[in-house]
């Protein structure tokens, strides 16, 4: 890790373990992107890449063509309105109504550590000397705006973390119409664009397309990161695979509206930007006030997507997730949603708990329907009072009974919502986000609470905390089952309505921060109609997030492959459910469902009192399997071996312990093939000089053979058949 500035060259250099990021100051004013790539021990000659010695030259030499300069220079942080016509990061309106802005270089600071971002999730060093930060100061004297561009690197990571702070140093109000958090302006090398997209129950499928001329992007204006698109974008060199090729990736540590855009321009350059979506956004920056934009994690890999994934995984495990559960086995849970939906009572839950305990399950989670008069999804959100018709004696009585069966207890809540049919709505209709005079748009028969208002945040917090204080609750599944619409708040004047989307997200963060501060041992799992708010922002508060409402083992292969592209397996909520699967109707073997869920947090989502005896017996084996392998799955390095999305036949991934002594390989034969022998797979990340023993039959393989020559997986009969292979290094 190194961050330095060379005054003679006017170059900043940030080094991570294997990468370098170089920024140059041209004409003492313009902050330009020089290089991001493999680590440079010797940078002599690199300054020329800013191309300031080529026409149109810098403005001090050729003022008459300043516009050409602005429109070609590789800007580190482009602003709108003074001649750079490519996608900008910054647009600020003045009281006079003008929008041009030109922040120019004014100085820098380099310091140990990494400042936390006020009210926002952010990556952090455990010790100050684990990180270094470069802060480049820019100013636009004309409008009194100061811009701080921050870049942080960690001793043990290959990521560069960027954030932006705007400060109004003038005496007039400024209106921020757009403030993105990062930009990467490079020559286009026939890049392809990799993104994650999908839908409800089909989240985070990997998609790629060529970066042809013009703008290509993903975004959300749904108030959350969304099922549909993900705040991630990568440019990949042609032919990039899991193991080869250059990858430039950005991932946004934020849970609300976002945009990520790659623009291929007229001079064969490509500019990639990421930040809060400007649509519906405007922030009023009073004199003296500042605005902190959320951070973007940038990762460069010269060894394909696999190294990129492992860089994100390690960063998030070491410097983002804060839970005491991070390095612990999570209790194996059984959730009653797919078992009972809204139709349950204390006796039913205790029956499930009793049977679950026999099979080695460790926690019962009571899902939706335990409060108000909620027997379907059309009422009671906001009325967090236990329904004593279902749970006589209240929550504590139920929790105590479940605990006496020997299980921990977890609870579902949806704190951000309000049903029109609720006591809360009747008392405070103005607490729902709405626009006066307009009938609000219902979704799942509910409105969204106005969490931009501190009094609503306080009220909601007290409701959640009262419940958690009332009984011994170990886990909360925090759900959010609709996206935002009619975003108006009675808490703010007309001039500040553009702040509500962002203030809402800040309200969610404030709530979860308070929750984990008061209940530090609580295991929090975020969820949003499945995986619509699976993002690094939420990971800062909860060590795991429900991946998708689709629990079908085969559909999950693509969802979990896309999710694991960025997130460590230990944070992917994954459960075994009953068949035919409730979402897609598919029948899959119980063992396959277990192997696929093992790649995540692991748990069950079925009525254990109703399934077959043989399935119940398999749960006993699977809970043992979880305890045996989860530490490796949780802490190990992830390698993607094959993707069903590409080959249409089989899926395969591997986890290797950091000392390379233990390996777990999961293989799923999705479709059976006729007239076919065994399949050869090459393992990755092993010790080439090591000798590995396969647990199931004691066979010995050299690391070299497994990686270079391959390992044979026998053909199975039938579709959807899976196999788990566990290897351990033995002394030769």
Annotated catalytic residues are 479, 549
Distance of alpha carbon 214 from its chain centroid, rounded?
27
Closest CA to 369 of 403, 416, 407, 412: 412
Using DSSP, state whether 396 is helix, strand or coil: helix
Structure tokens at 377: 């999804």
Q: Which of 32, 278, 530, 603 lies at the binding interface for ligand GLA (CB under 6 A)?
A: 530
Q: Rounded to an integer, what distance in angstroms lies between the CA atom of residue 620 and that of residue 460? A: 39
Structure tokens at 251: 């991932």
550 scored as a contact of ligand GLA (CB under 6 A):
no
Q: Please identify, among the stretches 146-154, 522-530, 648-656, 704-712, the one whose residues bind ligand GLA according to the rule CB under 6 A.
A: 522-530
Q: Please identify, among the stretches 144-152, 301-309, 525-533, 558-566, the one whose residues bind ligand GLA according to the rule CB under 6 A.
A: 525-533
Would you give the binding string for ligand GLA spanning residues 450-489, x where CB under 6 A is met? Answer: -----------------------------x-x--------
Pick 533 or 630: Cβ nearer ligand GLA: 533
Pick 20 or 419: Cβ nearer ligand GLA: 419
Is there a contact between 249 and 233 (Cβ–Cβ < 8 Å)? yes
Pick 283 or 412: Cβ nearer ligand GLA: 412
CB of 529 to ligand GLA, least distance (A): 5
CB neighbours of residue 555 within 10 Å: 19
Q: Please identify, among the stretches 61-69, 269-277, 524-532, 556-564, the one whose residues bind ligand GLA according to the rule CB under 6 A.
A: 524-532
Tell me the CA distances in angstroms from 512 to 383, 518, 519, 639, one per residue in order: 19, 10, 10, 32
Pick 122 or 583: Cβ nearer ligand GLA: 583
* Interacting residues with ligand GLA between 615 and 644 (CB under 6 A): none
CB of 482 to ligand GLA, least distance (A): 10
Q: Please identify, among the stretches 85-93, 207-215, 402-410, 523-531, the one whose residues bind ligand GLA according to the rule CB under 6 A.
A: 523-531
CB of 600 to ligand GLA, least distance (A): 14
Give helix 590-598 / helix 613-635 axis angle, nearest 10°: 20
- Residue-level length of the chain: 732
CB of 256 to ligand GLA, least distance (A): 19
Would you give the binding string for ligand GLA spanning residues 38-67, x where CB under 6 A is met? Answer: ------------------------------
527 scored as a contact of ligand GLA (CB under 6 A):
yes
Q: Which of 15, 355, 549, 607 lies at the binding interface for ligand GLA (CB under 6 A)?
A: 549
Q: Is 280 exposed, middle or buried (0-12, 13-18, 19+ CB in 10 A)?
A: middle
428 has which bridge partners? none
CB of 411 to ligand GLA, least distance (A): 11
Pick 30 or 534: Cβ nearer ligand GLA: 534
Pick 479 or 654: Cβ nearer ligand GLA: 479
CB of 597 to ligand GLA, least distance (A): 14
Closest CA to 630 of 572, 712, 698, 578: 572
Pick 248 or 370: Cβ nearer ligand GLA: 370
Q: Is the dihedral of CA 667, 711, 681, 640 positive or negative?
A: positive
334 has which bridge partners? 364, 604
Pick 102 or 368: Cβ nearer ligand GLA: 368
Using DSSP, state whether 319 is helix, strand or coil: helix
Q: Which of 108, 412, 653, 692 lies at the binding interface for ligand GLA (CB under 6 A)?
A: 412
- How many residues bind ligand GLA, per CB under 6 A? 12
Structure tokens at 219: 């975004």
CB of 571 to ligand GLA, least distance (A): 16
CB of 549 to ligand GLA, least distance (A): 5
CB of 335 to ligand GLA, least distance (A): 7
> Which DSSP helix (H) or strand (E) runs through 95?
none
Closest CA to 252 of 202, 207, 312, 197: 312
Q: Rounded to an integer, what distance in angstroms lies between the CA atom of residue 717 and that of residue 732? A: 35
Q: Which of 529, 594, 600, 685 lies at the binding interface for ligand GLA (CB under 6 A)?
A: 529
Q: Rounded to an integer, what distance in angstroms lies between the CA atom of residue 114 and that of residue 117? A: 9
371 scored as a contact of ligand GLA (CB under 6 A):
no
Strands 30-38 and 258-264: unpaired
Using DSSP, state whether 501 is helix, strand or coil: helix
Q: Rounded to an integer, what distance in angstroms lies between the CA atom of residue 484 and that of residue 433? A: 8
CB of 560 to ligand GLA, least distance (A): 16
Pick 165 or 581: Cβ nearer ligand GLA: 581
Q: Which of 229, 367, 450, 687 lies at the binding interface for ligand GLA (CB under 6 A)?
A: 367
Tell me the CA distances in angstroms from 200 to 216, 230, 528, 730, one per residue in order: 23, 13, 10, 45
Q: Rounded to an integer, what distance in angstroms lies between the CA atom of residue 24 and that of residue 47? A: 7
Which residue is closest to ligand GLA by CB?
368
Q: Please identify, among the stretches 93-101, 257-265, 509-517, 527-535, the one whose residues bind ligand GLA according to the rule CB under 6 A.
A: 527-535
Pick 412 or 644: Cβ nearer ligand GLA: 412
Rg of the chain's alpha carbons, rounded to an integer?
Answer: 27
Q: Which of 368, 405, 474, 499 lies at the binding interface for ligand GLA (CB under 6 A)?
A: 368
Closest CA to 725 of 665, 640, 650: 665
Structure tokens at 311: 């860089």
Q: Which of 35, 254, 337, 602 lies at the binding interface for ligand GLA (CB under 6 A)?
A: 337
CB of 350 to ligand GLA, least distance (A): 20
Pick 224 or 368: Cβ nearer ligand GLA: 368
List, in sequence order, every beta strand (DSSP E) within 499-623. 523-526, 544-546, 572-573, 576-577, 603-605
Is there a contact between 507 and 452 (Cβ–Cβ < 8 Å)? yes
Q: Rounded to an integer, what distance in angstroms lies between the CA atom of residue 4 and that of residue 23? A: 11
**Residues in touch with ligand GLA (CB under 6 A):** 337, 367-368, 377, 412, 479, 481, 527, 529-530, 546, 549
């Amino acid at each position: 890790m190194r961050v330095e500035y060379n005054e003679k060259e006017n170059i900043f250099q940030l080094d991570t373990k294997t990468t370098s990021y170089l920024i140059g100051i041209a004409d003492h004013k313009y902050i330009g992107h020089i290089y991001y790539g493999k680590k440079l021990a010797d940078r002599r000659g690199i300054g020329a890449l800013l191309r300031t010695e080529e026409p149109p030259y810098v403005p001090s030499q050729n003022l008459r063509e300043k516009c050409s300069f602005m429109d070609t220079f590789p800007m580190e942080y482009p602003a709108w309105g003074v001649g750079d016509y490519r996608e900008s990061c910054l647009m600020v309106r003045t009281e006079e109504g003008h929008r041009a802005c030109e922040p120019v270089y004014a100085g820098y600071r380099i310091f140990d550590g990494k400042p936390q971002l006020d009210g926002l999730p952010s990556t952090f060093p455990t010790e100050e000397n684990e990180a270094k930060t470069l802060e480049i100061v820019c100013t636009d004297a004309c409008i009194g705006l100061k811009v701080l561009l921050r870049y942080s690197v960690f001793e043990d990571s290959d990521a560069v973390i960027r954030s932006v702070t705007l400060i109004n140093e003038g005496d007039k109000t400024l209106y921020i119409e757009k403030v993105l958090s990062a930009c990467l302006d490079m020559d286009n090398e026939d890049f392809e664009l990799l993104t994650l997209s999908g839908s409800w129950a089909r989240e985070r499928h990997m998609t790629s397309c060529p970066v042809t001329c013009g703008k290509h992007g993903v975004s959300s204006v749904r108030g959350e990161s969304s099922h549909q698109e993900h705040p991630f974008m990568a440019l990949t060199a042609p032919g990039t695979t899991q193991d080869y090729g250059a990858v430039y990736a950005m991932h946004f540590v934020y849970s609300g509206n976002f945009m990520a855009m790659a623009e291929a321009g007229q001079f064969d350059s490509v500019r990639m930007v990421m930040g809060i979506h400007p649509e519906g956004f405007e922030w009023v920056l009073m004199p003296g006030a500042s605005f902190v934009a959320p951070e973007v994690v940038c990762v460069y890999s010269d060894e394909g997507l696999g190294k990129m994934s492992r860089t994100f995984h390690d960063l998030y495990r070491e410097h983002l997730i804060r839970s005491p559960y991070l390095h612990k086995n999570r209790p194996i849970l059984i959730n009653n949603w797919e078992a009972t939906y809204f139709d349950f009572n204390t006796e039913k839950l205790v029956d499930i708990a009793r049977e679950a305990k026999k099979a080695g399950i460790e926690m019962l989670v009571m899902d939706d329907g335990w409060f108000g008069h909620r027997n379907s999804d059309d009422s009671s959100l906001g009325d967090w009072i236990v329904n004593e018709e279902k749970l006589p004696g209240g929550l504590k009585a139920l929790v105590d009974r479940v605990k006496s069966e020997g299980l921990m207890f977890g609870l579902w809540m949806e704190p951000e919502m309000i049903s029109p049919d609720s006591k809360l709505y009747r008392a405070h209709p103005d607490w729902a986000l709405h626009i006066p005079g307009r009938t609000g748009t219902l979704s799942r028969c509910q409105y969204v609470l106005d969490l931009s208002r501190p009094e609503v945040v306080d009220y909601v917090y007290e409701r959640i905390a009262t419940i958690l204080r009332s009984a011994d609750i170990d886990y909360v599944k925090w759900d959010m089952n609709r996206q935002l619409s009619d975003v108006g708040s009675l808490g703010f004047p007309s001039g500040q309505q553009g702040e509500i989307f962002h203030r809402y997200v800040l309200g969610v963060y404030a709530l979860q921060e308070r929750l984990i501060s008061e209940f530090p041992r609580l295991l929090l799992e975020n969820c949003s109609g499945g995986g619509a708010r699976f993002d690094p922002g939420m990971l800062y508060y909860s060590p795991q997030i429900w991946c998708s409402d689709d629990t079908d083992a085969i559909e999950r292969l693509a969802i979990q492959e896309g999710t694991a592209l960025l997130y460590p397996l230990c944070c992917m909520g994954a459960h075994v459910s009953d068949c035919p699967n409730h979402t897609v109707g598919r029948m899959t073997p119980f063992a396959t469902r277990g192997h696929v869920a093992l790649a995540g947090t692991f748990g069950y989502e079925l009525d254990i009192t109703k399934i077959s005896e043989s399935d119940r017996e398999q749960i006993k084996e699977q809970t043992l399997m979880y305890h045996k392998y989860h530490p490796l799955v949780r802490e190990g390095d992830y390698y993607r071996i094959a993707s069903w999305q590409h080959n249409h036949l089989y899926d395969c991934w591997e986890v290797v312990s950091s000392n390379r002594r233990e390996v777990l390989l999961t293989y799923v034969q999705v479709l059976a093939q006729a007239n076919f022998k065994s399949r050869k797979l090459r393992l990755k990340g092993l010790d080439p000089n090591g000798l590995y023993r396969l647990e199931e039959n004691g066979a010995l393989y050299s690391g070299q053979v497994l990686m270079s020559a391959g390992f044979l997986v026998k053909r199975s009969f039938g579709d959807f058949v899976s196999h788990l292979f566990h290897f351990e290094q033995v002394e030769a």
